[in-house]
């Protein structure tokens, strides 16, 4: 493998990384980056994150507010390496701040490829438009290829 002509590795993995921290009442607690989560925790984050994003994007009802609070508690349990009594003292907005800090962490290349945008297509877990790469046009012209052109009004192929 040492004779491989590729100069830039396809994948660069670090097994030791410093975990970011959050200071609560003067004490530092670890914030788990995405690549440090267990498979179960990763799947929960992928499921819960879009739900949080959906709720944050709109004016919510009392029931939805309770749902959001429950989801934020769950995310803090997964992401914040702090004792339950410390997490229990956090207000909803502080829990949201912990979650937002997690969203700002860089995502490893492999997990971006496997996890997409944590379960969403065009938005980040907060519900904001994705800023990690582009799914839009690169400005290149489309080749004529063998596809028939489409009529703007009917969507059908034109002769």
Whole-number Å distance between alpha carbons of 116 and 69: 25
Whole-number Å distance between alpha carbons of 153 and 140: 24
Q: Under a CB-based contact definition with an 8 Å cutoff, are residues 33 and 105 in contact?
A: yes
Two tokens at 147?
């596809």
pLDDT per residue as tens, the chain (159 positions): 556 566 888 877 777 677 899 999 999 999 998 888 999 999 999 999 999 999 999 999 999 999 999 999 999 999 999 999 999 999 999 999 999 999 988 876 545 555 554 544 444 444 444 444 444 444 444 444 444 444 444 444 444
Query: For residue 106, what pLDDT is reported?
Result: 81
Query: For residue 4, what pLDDT is reported?
Result: 59
Per-residue HEC secondary structure of 84-128 comes to HHHHHHCCHHHHHHHHHHHHHCCCCHHHHHHHCCCCCCCECCCCC
Query: For residue 145, what pLDDT is reported?
Result: 47
Sign of CA dihedral 4, 10, 13, 19: positive
Query: For residue 36, what pLDDT is reported?
Result: 86
């Amino acid at each position: 493998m040492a004779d491989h002509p590729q100069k830039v590795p396809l994948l660069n993995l670090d097994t030791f990384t410093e975990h970011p921290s959050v200071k609560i009442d003067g004490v530092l607690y670890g914030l788990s980056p995405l690549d440090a989560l267990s498979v179960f925790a990763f799947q929960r984050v992928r499921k819960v994150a879009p739900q949080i994003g959906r709720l944050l994007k709109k004016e919510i009802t009392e029931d939805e507010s309770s749902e959001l609070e429950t989801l934020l508690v769950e995310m803090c349990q997964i992401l914040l390496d702090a004792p339950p009594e410390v997490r229990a003292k956090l207000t909803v907005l502080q829990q949201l701040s912990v979650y937002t800090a997690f969203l700002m962490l860089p995502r490893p290349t492999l997990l971006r490829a496997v996890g997409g945008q944590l379960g969403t297509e065009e938005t980040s877990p907060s519900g904001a438009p994705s800023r990690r790469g582009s799914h839009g046009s690169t400005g290149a012209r489309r080749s004529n290829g063998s596809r028939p052109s489409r009529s703007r009004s009917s969507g059908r192929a034109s002769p």
